[in-house]
Copies of this chain bind each other. A is one copy, B any other.
Amino acid sequence: MARLPVYLRALHVLADRGIVTVSSEELAAAAGVNSAKLRKDLSHLGSYGTRGVGYEVQYLVYQISRELGLTQDWSVAIIGLGNLGRALAGYGGFASRGFRMAAMLDADPAIVGERINGLTVEHIDKLERVITDCGISIAVLAVPAPAAQPVCDRVVACGVTSILNFAPVVLTVPDRVDVRKVDLSIELQILAFHEQRKAGGPAGVEQEYLEAVDGP
């Protein structure tokens, strides 16, 4: 389930506060979901709660981490070290969750060779060798839109089966490969949509289009 990471983060916060036990009601509130939904989610992992008491925080952290595969380390490659790639490279939330930044690749000669977060940026020509040598299992694509599909194809050819794509394109991959997409522009557009509805829905109709195309 896609909600497990949210629960996990809430549990980490509770653990840091020294809280030992938590009820489904409390945890659900912290995670921003319905308590019945949370209990059903957790029950799919097994019966880890104690009736009348709740869930033991540390134990639940471990169980969810194991379910998510965070008890083992995953080697991640960042491809494209522009503004966004650098932000990702410096993002602390990765290393603390079992993700190891293992390689950085870029096509720009001005960027290749630079050291970011203790890693040297390699040229993308070495992609195949770097991915194989570093045992990369997850690739993060922060490249320009036109480069995304070609780079994706090369990465997949190396055996990578998980891709996090920040480029605003729909990637085509074999069935065995998982792709998750983060599109910053789309998020803003969805907000604009709701914002507009609050303001009273789309203004103008056919007339407006004709004016926009032909002039008034």
Contacts and interface: CB of A to CB of B under 8 A. Distances in A.
Interface of A: 2, 4-6, 8-10, 30-32, 58-59, 62-63, 66-72, 74, 76, 82-84, 86-88, 90-91, 93-94, 97-99, 137-138, 140, 161-164, 168, 170, 176, 178, 180, 182-196, 198, 202-204, 208-209, 212-213
A202 to B, nearest CB: 5
The SS class assigned to the A binding surface is helix
A188 B164 contact: yes
Contacts of A98: 192
Given A86-B83, A87-B84, A209-B59, A188 B6 contact: no
Copies in the complex: 2
Contacts of A180: 187, 190-191
Contact of A184 (B30, B182, B192, B198): B182
A5 B182 contact: no
A189 B68 contact: yes
Contacts of A68: 189, 192-193, 196
Contacts of A4: 189, 193
A202 B66 contact: yes
A58 to B, nearest CB: 8
15 contacts: A2-B186, A4-B193, A5-B186, A68-B193, A69-B202, A71-B208, A86-B87, A97-B185, A138-B191, A161-B195, A162-B191, A164-B191, A180-B191, A182-B182, A182-B184
B187 A164 contact: yes
A119 to B, nearest CB: 15
Contacts of A70: 189, 192
Nearest to A45: B202
Given A5-B186, A168-B9, A198-B176, A87 B83 contact: yes
A106 B210 CA distance: 43
